[in-house]
Chain A
Amino acid sequence: NAGVTQTPKFQVLKTGQSMTLQCAQDMNHEYMSWYRQDPGMGLRLIHYSVGAGITDQGEVPNGYNVSRSTTEDFPLRLLSAAPSQTSVYFCASRTRALRRNEQFFGPGTRLTVL
């Protein structure tokens, strides 16, 4: 199993550009989430999904869109990038089957917005 994969690993955007961060998992996990990590901060939840076709907002959703058309994929879209969105983005997935509900994280995408 590849686990949770994210592409790209690094990205530089100009203010106002749009892009999609890709996330995929091959563990058949029901739940997927996007977090962002800023310097000196822990991870903060952007959006999450409890299954295909179902998404909801987390703590910091503004400026981001998500959709979940399949169990495997959960892309994060930046509609009009801003310097405040410079961050490291982590995708995570988990199954509801395990009691401890451990989240499995992807390797992260480091995004810089100029």
Chain B
Amino acid sequence: AQKITQTQPGMFVQEKEAVTLDCTYDTSDPSYGLFWYKQPSSGEMIFLIYQGSYDQQNATEGRYSLNFQKARKSANLVISASQLGDSAMYFCAMREGSGYGGSQGNLIFGKGTKLSVKP
């Protein structure tokens, strides 16, 4: 079974509108972390936002926020006021465990969502 599922292969959004990228995860570990990365056409992986499983509040980083619904095992990325430069692939990833031990900290990635922002 997939541990990270991103059900939207591609999405379009109008410039200046908000968009939500879906991510669901599967783990039995009570301690985990959820990450979103952006990959523009140039290919680099850019860290956007992080949510820990014990964090009480949803994470926010500028125009990015993470809608964390623990009971539903979902960690959707919300981008407010989309810009043309937001056009990219977006990957949701999970780290199982606290991150302080051996293999804990390695990331499991979803297949990504390609976001296109229309002017």
Contact = CB atoms under 8 A, between A and B. Distances in A.
Interface of A: 31, 33, 35, 40-45, 48, 50, 56, 58, 88, 90, 92, 94, 96, 99-105, 107-108, 110
The 8 closest A-B CB pairs, nearest first, are A42-B109, A101-B99, A105-B45, A100-B50, A43-B109, A101-B105, A42-B111, A42-B110
Interface of B: 4, 33, 35, 37, 43-45, 47, 50, 52, 91, 93, 95, 99-100, 102-103, 105-112
Contact of A103 (B44, B107, B112): B107
A96 B43 contact: no
B47 A102 contact: yes
Per DSSP, chain A at the interface is: strand
A105 to B, nearest CB: 4
Contacts of B99: 96, 99-101
A101 B93 CA distance: 12
11 contacts: A31-B105, A42-B111, A43-B109, A44-B109, A45-B107, A48-B103, A50-B103, A102-B47, A105-B37, A105-B44, A107-B44
Nearest to A48: B106
A102 B109 contact: no
B106 A90 contact: no
A56 B103 contact: yes
B111 A58 contact: no
Contacts of A90: 45
Given A42-B109, A43-B91, A96-B105, A107 B43 contact: yes
B43 A88 contact: yes
Given A50-B102, A100-B50, 9 more contacts: A40-B111, A42-B4, A88-B43, A96-B99, A96-B100, A101-B95, A101-B105, A102-B50, A105-B45
Contacts of B4: 42
A103 B102 contact: no
Nearest to B100: A96
B52 A99 contact: yes
B109 A100 contact: no
A45 B43 contact: no
Contacts of A108: 43-45
B48 to A, nearest CB: 10
